[in-house]
Amino acid sequence: MDADEMQLKREDLQLRRQELANSRSRDQKADRHAKNTIIVAIVSVVVASLISAAAILASSYWSRNQLKTGQRQFVQTARSSEYNDIIVGLSSNSVAVQTNSIRRLVNFVKQSSNFDGDKHAQDVAFTDAIQTLQAFIKGESPSPVDGLQAITKPEPDVALRAMTQLRQLVEDPTFGRHSIDLAHTDLKGLTLEQFKPQASFYAPGTDFRTASLSGMQLTHTTTFTDSFFTCADLSASNLGRAVVGGADFTGANLQGANLEDVVGLSSPQVAHAEVDRDTKFPATDVSGKPFQRPTNPWLAAKGKCTAIVRSMTGMMPGEGYSPDTPCPSLLGSASTASAVCGERAKP
């Protein structure tokens, strides 16, 4: 084999080696490309999965929020509906429905869950409930301004029941101190023992005849001008600085009661009241004269108080205690109220 042939074989061998190397390089690139394609595909799948999961989570989040919003709206609507039902119930002709509505109203405003923790909204509702009950009591009670109503056989009285519920609100300082206005209201026979209002008590011209008010503690501004406490039980009560001009305490149980600081009291206003050594009166009456403690209590005479209060029908607030409202003349009249008006001051 000559030198030329040897040279050709060497060149042919180099070409084959070069082709083999190129082939290997192409295979490696293809492998890398395939691997990259697989990786990209995997990453795409993962990203797509993550996006899908995020979308699902977002959808779930918004669904839960929408559900919560819907639930809140439903609860608020239900509460609003309940409150409306309560107010409608107060105007019912059924005493049972009215009584139930009164209880529901008080329970509703005392539960903070009905206001989603909004203290201001609850305070406003609390005040509204007090005003609603006061208006209800006045609306259900004939006003003594037109003369006292007859004492009838005791029977369930929705106004007196409303007063019991109103008491829960005005004695509760949790939602502030609220005044009570029962001016010119018929509350005869009311039971309100140990009553301790947290703010002013305004009740001029109100009928408290035969009411059970023992232990009442009045430490705020109080107005009882021209009111009737005839034969009421005020034992162990403290009337503070109540304004009582023209109020009738004749025949009342004032044992242990403190009227020492009341304003406008005259001796005839407590005629025939039951007192003991613990009963306190002002040193002087409204006229400046020494105060005369009552004697000859009606409560000691069986049936006397009952007969008196039954005979007071038609009497006007303050009648007999002021020159402006003297007892009506008996001339030409057989009015028992006129007779009772004059009898109160008799020894």
Residue 202, strand partner residues: 181, 223
pLDDT band at residue 39, thresholds of 50, 70 and 90?
very low
Give the gyration radius of the chain's Cα atoms: 44
In the chain, the number of structural domains is 1
Residue 3 belongs to some domain of the structure? no
* Residue 168 to residue 129: CA distance in whole angstroms: 11
Neighbours of 263 (CB within 10 A): 17
* Residue 168 to residue 198: CA distance in whole angstroms: 11
Structure tokens at 6: 């040897």
Q: Are 134 and 182 in contact (CB under 8 A)?
A: yes
Neighbours of 121 (CB within 10 A): 13
Q: Which residue intervals of 141-180 are DSSP H helices?
A: 158-170
Least confident of 106-120, 238-252, 262-276: 106-120
Which of the given ranges, 27-36, 105-114, 153-162, has the highest pLDDT on average? 105-114
Return the H-helix or E-strand segment holding 307. Answer: helix 304-310
Domain hosting 245: range is 74-343
Dihedral sign computed on CA atoms, order 128, 134, 137, 142: negative
Q: What is the pLDDT of residues 194-218, one digit of tens each?
A: 999 999 999 999 999 999 999 999 9
Q: What is the pLDDT of residue 38?
A: 46
Residue 216 belongs to some domain of the structure? yes
Residue 9 confidence (pLDDT) above 70: no
Residue 23 belongs to some domain of the structure? no
Residue 166 confidence (pLDDT) above 80: yes
Residue 55 belongs to some domain of the structure? no
Q: What is the pLDDT of residues 284-304, one digit of tens each?
A: 998 899 999 998 888 878 888
Q: What is the pLDDT of residues 253-265, one digit of tens each?
A: 999 999 999 999 9
pLDDT cut 90: percent of the chain above it: 37
Neighbours of 21 (CB within 10 A): 10
Structure tokens at 8: 């050709």
Q: Exposed/middle/buried for 257, CB within 10 Å: 0-12, 13-18, 19+?
A: buried
Q: What is the pLDDT of residue 13?
A: 54
Q: What is the pLDDT of residue 321?
A: 78
> Collapsing DSSP states into helix, strand and coil, what is residue 171?
coil
Residue 41 belongs to some domain of the structure? no
Q: Are 206 and 230 in contact (CB under 8 A)?
A: no
- 274 or 148, greater pLDDT: 274
b/e burial code for range 280-305 (CB count within 10 A of at least 16 → b): bbbeebbeeeebeebeebbbeeeebb
Least confident of 69-73, 147-151, 242-246: 69-73
Query: What is the pLDDT averaged over residues 170-193?
Result: 91
Q: What is the pLDDT of residue 230?
A: 93
pLDDT band at residue 26, thresholds of 50, 70 and 90?
low
Query: What is the pLDDT averaged over residues 271-291?
Result: 94
User: Which residues, at least 6 apart from 181, have a Cβ–Cβ distance to it below 8 Å?
Assistant: 134, 202, 203
Residue 241 belongs to some domain of the structure? yes
Residue 72 confidence (pLDDT) above 50: no
Residue 3 main-chain phi, psi, to 5 deg:
-70, -35
Identify which of 97, 162, 160 has the alpha carbon closest to the alpha carbon of residue 129.
162
| Average pLDDT along the chain | 79
Amino acid identity, position 281: F
Q: What is the pLDDT of residue 313?
A: 86
Amino acid identity, position 235: S
* Residue 224 to residue 336: CA distance in whole angstroms: 25
- 137 or 61, greater pLDDT: 137
Q: What is the pLDDT of residue 295?
A: 86
Residue 187 main-chain phi, psi, to 5 deg:
-125, 30
Q: What is the pLDDT of residue 12?
A: 55
Residue 46 confidence (pLDDT) above 60: no
Residue 280, strand partner residues: 258
- How far CA 307 is from CA of 173, 299, 313, 321, in Å, comes to 41, 11, 11, 21
Residue 118 belongs to some domain of the structure? yes
Q: What is the pLDDT of residues 235-254, one digit of tens each?
A: 999 999 999 999 999 999 99
Residue 21 belongs to some domain of the structure? no
